[in-house]
Amino acid sequence: MMWTTALVASGLLTAGAGDSCYLFSFFRNNGEDGLFLAASDDGYTWRELPGGPFLRPTVDGKLMRDPCLALGPDGVFRLVWTTGWGGRMIGYASSRDLKSWSAPKPVAVMAAEPGARNCWAPEVIWNAAAGHWVVYWSTTIPGRFPDTDRTGDDGYNHRIYAATTTDFEHFTPTRLFFDGGFNVIDATMVAVGGQYRLIVKDETLKPVRKNLRTALGDSPDGPWREVSEAFTPSWVEGPTAIRIGDDYLIYFDCYTAGHYGLMRTRDWRRFEDVTARLSFPAGARHGTVLAVPKAVVDRLAGR
């Protein structure tokens, strides 16, 4: 696998090391403490890794909500997060071992939009064909989408925006990434064959939706089509997804109930609620899942 080669080259993993397992990044409370990590061998039973928080928030609003962790082809982990409830920036840091981190820095992704109210739940994905990272997040720009201005909470009316980068120093101009005609936050992405599924939260309050929907694209850069109906109950957020065997597991934060939920699918048409099988660390909030070599988790766990 790509990450195996990269990690051998970086010295984090020795050649011939064992199988993969799964890592989950998350926050607790309001995000004031920083980054926490959990690991799983099967995607259902998760154990918190000792040593957290692994990175503390120090920029902008000094929060670390919605931490998205991704592993690049160079063996470097990239982390982006929500730095505060308002503002026009996100947080960024990188690490080769998830213990020592670059200095967290703010990235002003909405600098060109002085009226932007927020930058929430950023995520990153590597587009191998294009050779760049896609960074995407949700923002409200008052008055930009008047047809849905009165559908959300407190005047929020989000859409998903994006930029690309190769080095996290220089970014392309921000563009509208996804507009399904509804108030939307918390986008995440998973590869499905040669295509991609974008999973988003329909943030409509009036009438209440607050559920998850999907869209289809041929590239991590979009464009997006075939927006689905909801496949979860209402009052969920923060989706993240991964393929394990023949199954796609879609995790989501049941934020009003105080626990995580899990849907399973193979064809993206039929979804099975398997929340009863799921075990997560107490208080885990809106994070992301990724596959890593087992040696990475063993090192974090001190084994």
The two tokens of residue 202 are 């329909």
**Amino acid (1-letter code) at residue 139:** T
Is residue 17 predicted with pLDDT exceeding 60?
A: no
- Please choose, from the candidates 210, 300, 274, the residue with its C-alpha nearest in 3D space to the C-alpha of residue 24: 300
pLDDT at 7 over 90: no
Give yes or no for residue 10 having a pLDDT over 60. Answer: no
Is a pLDDT exceeding 80 seen at residue 16?
Answer: no
Alpha helix positions (H), the chain: 2-10, 294-300
Outline where DSSP puts E strands in the chain. Answer: 20-27, 36-40, 47-48, 65-71, 77-82, 90-95, 105-107, 120-127, 132-140, 158-165, 175-178, 184-192, 195-202, 211-217, 237-244, 247-254, 259-265, 272-273, 285-293
The answer to whether residues 23 and 297 touch, using CB atoms and an 8 Å cutoff, is: yes
- Per-residue pLDDT, averaged over 77-87, amounts to 98
Domains identified in the chain and CATH numbers: 2-300 (2.115.10.20)
Length of the chain: 303
Question: What percent of the chain stands above pLDDT 90?
Answer: 92
* Residues 152-173: tens digit of each pLDDT: 999 999 999 999 999 999 999 9
On whether the CB atoms of residues 88 and 116 are closer than 8 A, the answer is yes
pLDDT band at 302 (very low <50, low <70, confident <90, very high): confident
Is 68 in contact with 288 (CB distance < 8 Å)?
A: yes
The pLDDT of residue 59 is above 50: yes
Pinpoint the alpha helices (H) of 152-290.
Answer: none
Tokens of residue 146, six digits: 């008047």
Average pLDDT, the chain: 94
59, β-bridge pairs: none
What is the pTM assigned to this prediction?
Answer: 0.94
- The predicted pLDDT at position 8 comes to 34
**What integer pLDDT is reported at residue 5 of this predicted model?**
40
Asked whether residue 93 carries a pLDDT value surpassing 50, the answer given is yes
Burial 62-94 (b: 16+ CB within 10 A, else e): ebbbbbbbbbeeebbbbbbbbbbeebbbbbbbb
Instruction: Say what the pLDDT of residue 35 is.
Output: 98
